[in-house]
A and B are shown apart, each in its own frame.
Chain A
C-alpha cells in the first residue's frame, strides 16, 4: 500500500540547509540532479512506529523536494506473517527462534501476493529489512536495481534463519548495513551506511530554557546539582546497574545527580524485571532518579539531554546507539562504552570519552564534571562530528550514492584510477 507522506509545513531542504549549511546541501542537490531521471521506490512493513518508518517519512519527502521521484510502499501481511517475521527478527538478533516448513511457505506466499499488489515500478528499489526481502524474487524486471537495506545487527544471527534468508538476497544488486560488524558473508556487494538522527524532530530540535523548564517540571529533578544521564530502555545489555555503580564511585569525589530514563516496560517482561532490579539497587538513594517515560516522550528526552552535564551510554552490547549522536548533537559531553557503533560516534578524547569498565566510567564521569573546559571542547567537536556524519542529510546522500554507484559511477572511477596506476 502506498504511504502518503506529509508535504505540508516548511521545506525540509531549507530546514536542513539551515542546520548543515549550504555546502553539504549543494552536494546533495548535485547528486539528486544525477538521479532525476530515475524513480525510487522504498518498501518496508509499517508506516508508523519504529525507527525505519520514522526515517522514511523524512527521507521520501526530502528526496521528492530534491527532485528525485520517490514513493513508499508498505508490505501487507496477516497476523501469521508478522508472527513469522517477528521470529525472523529475533533470530537475526541472536535469539533461537526456529522456523518450520509452514513458516517458510507462508513467508514466501505473503511476499508473492504482496508483489502483485504493490507499485514497484521504479527503476531503483530500496527494500528495508527482512519482511519484504523476497519481493525481489517475484517482481524484479530488467533495468531495475534492487538494494536491500538491513537495519538489524546480524553479527549473532541464528544460522538456520540466516540460511533461509540468504538465498533470497542473491537477487539483489547490493546490500546496505549500518556497521561492518553486522555484515554476514554475502554474494552481493555490501555497503556501509550508518544510521542518522533528524535534527528537526522533536527529539533533537532546539529548545529554549523556558520550554525545557516546562517539560521537566513534573519530574522533580534537583536544579542546583549537575546531572549525569543515561537514556535507554531498561535492558541488561544497557547495563543500568553498572551505570549506578560507576556513578556512586564518581559521586564519592564530585557532587552530581544520576538520571536513568527509559521507556515503559509494560509489554516487556524482561524490561519490567530489569526495572525492578534497578529500583532495588537504587534503594533510598536521593541522588538517583529513575524515570519511566512513555514511548512518545521525545520532547522530554530532548530536554533531559540538554539539561545534563554528562550523558552516559554504558552498554555491554550495542547496535548503533544513536542516543550517543543525539547527545553529541545537543553539545553534551559523552562517556560511552567502546561497543557496537559507539566508537564511530565517540572518538576517544576528541568527541567524547570511551570506557571499558565500571571504574573507567567513574573516572571519566568525574573527570568531565571537574574539567568544564574538557567537557566544552569534547562537546563542541562532538556536535561538528554529528553534523558531518550522523544527520539524515548524510544518510540520504549515501543512499543516492549507492544508486549512483550501481548505475556505474564508482566503477567508472575505479577503472580510470586503474588506468592511471
Chain B
C-alpha cells in the first residue's frame, strides 16, 4: 500500500451468537461464570455492544453492568464494573481479571429468579472480506462505503484480540502515513460510538489530504478544476438523496 510490502484487506464481520448453556442469578455465580467462560463470551458481553447501536449518540452499556444495574439493582457494583470494562487493557484475560476483581470486592449477594438470570453467550466472528486495497485512497474509499461492522472489526475487535495492536494503522505507518495512524489510534482508543468514530476518522483522512489536493489543484487546468467541482457537487447531491431515502 503506497510503497508498503502488502495490500490491506478491508473486512466486515458477522458475529454468530452461541448460547453457552450457562447462566448466573447472583453476583457470585456471575463471577464464577466470568472465570470459566471462553474469550468469545467476554468479547460478546463486554466489547461487542457498541456494534449493536452503531449510530447511537451514547455508547450502550456492557451486558454485565446492564444486568447488575437493571436486574440485581446493585448500582454501585454496576458502575464499578462498567468502569472496569472501559479501562481494562485489551484482550480477554486483562478484562477477566478486572471483572473478577470488581465482583470479589462487592458485598451484596442476593439471587434473582431463573427467568431473570444472566445467560452467557459467545460470539464467533465470521470475517467478510470486502475489498483488498493497494493504496490509501482505495482504503479510505472502501471504509467510507463499508458498514459499521468493518469499522468495529478493524478498530475495536481485531486490536482487542491482538493485545491492542491495530493492523490497519500498522499498514498506514508502513505506507508512510504515521501521523494519520497516530490520530486513528487515539480515536480508536477513545471509546466513542462507532458512527462518530467513522466520521472523525474520515474527517482526519480528508484533512490529511488537503495539502496534496491543493497542490494538485494548483497545478491543474481551469477545465480540470471545473470538472472536479462538478464531480464534488454531484457527489454531495447523491449523499443527500441517499440520506433522505434511508431516513
Contacts and interface: CB of A to CB of B under 8 A. Distances in A.
Contact of B146 (A19, A23, A185, A190): A23
A19 B130 CA distance: 21
Contact of A417 (B39, B242, B245): B39
A384 B52 CA distance: 10
A388 B126 contact: no
Interface in B18-36: 18-19, 21
A381 B162 contact: no
Nearest to A18: B245
A410 B125 contact: yes
Given A350-B56, A421-B39, A404 B126 contact: yes
Contacts of A38: none
Given A24-B147, A384-B55, A420-B161, A191 B128 contact: no
B18 A191 contact: yes
B56 A26 contact: no
B146 A27 contact: yes
Interface residues of B, number: 41
A27 B149 contact: yes
A249 interface: no
Interface string A104-139: 000000000000000000000000000000000000
B112 interface: no
Interface in A161-199: 177, 180-181, 183, 185, 189-192
A333 B81 CA distance: 30
B56 A381 contact: yes
Contacts of B126: 31, 401, 404-405, 409-410, 413
Contact of A347 (B40, B60, B91): B60
B56 A401 contact: no
B60 A22 contact: no
Contacts of A23: 145-148, 150
B130 A27 contact: yes
A135 B128 CA distance: 31
Interface string A9-43: 00000000011111110110011001000000000
Given A30-B130, A192-B121, A385-B53, A19 B18 contact: no
Interface residues of A, number: 43
Contact of B60 (A31, A350, A402, A421): A350
Interface in A380-399: 381, 384-385, 388-389, 397-398
Nearest to B12: A27
Contacts of B115: 181
A401 B147 CA distance: 16
Contact of B147 (A18, A26, A180, A421): A26
A93 interface: no
Nearest to B162: A420
A117 B54 CA distance: 46
Interface string B38-81: 01100000000000111110101000000000100000000000
A248 interface: no
Contacts of A348: 70
Interface in B125-146: 125-130, 145-146
A414 interface: yes
A30 B18 contact: no
Contact of B16 (A24, A180, A384, A401): A401
B19 A384 contact: no
B21 A19 contact: no
B19 A22 contact: no
B237 interface: no
Given A180-B119, A192-B121, A384-B53, A26 B130 contact: yes
B217 interface: no
A381 B17 CA distance: 23
Interface in B159-177: 161-163
A30 B52 CA distance: 20
Contacts of A19: 246
A26 B145 contact: yes
Contacts of B54: 388
Nearest to A176: B16
A271 B126 CA distance: 44
A318 to B, nearest CB: 12
Contacts of A389: 52
24 contacts: A21-B242, A23-B145, A23-B150, A24-B147, A26-B145, A27-B14, A27-B150, A177-B19, A189-B18, A191-B18, A192-B18, A347-B53, A347-B60, A381-B56, A388-B52, A388-B54, A388-B55, A401-B16, A402-B16, A410-B16, A414-B124, A417-B39, A420-B162, A421-B161
Given A27-B128, A410-B125, 7 more contacts: A24-B147, A27-B130, A190-B18, A192-B17, A347-B60, A384-B53, A417-B161
Interface of A: 18-24, 26-27, 30-31, 34, 177, 180-181, 183, 185, 189-192, 347-348, 350, 381, 384-385, 388-389, 397-398, 400-402, 404-405, 409-410, 413-414, 417, 420-421
Interface of B: 12, 14, 16-19, 21, 39-40, 52-56, 58, 60, 70, 91-92, 115, 119, 121, 124-130, 145-150, 161-163, 242, 245-246
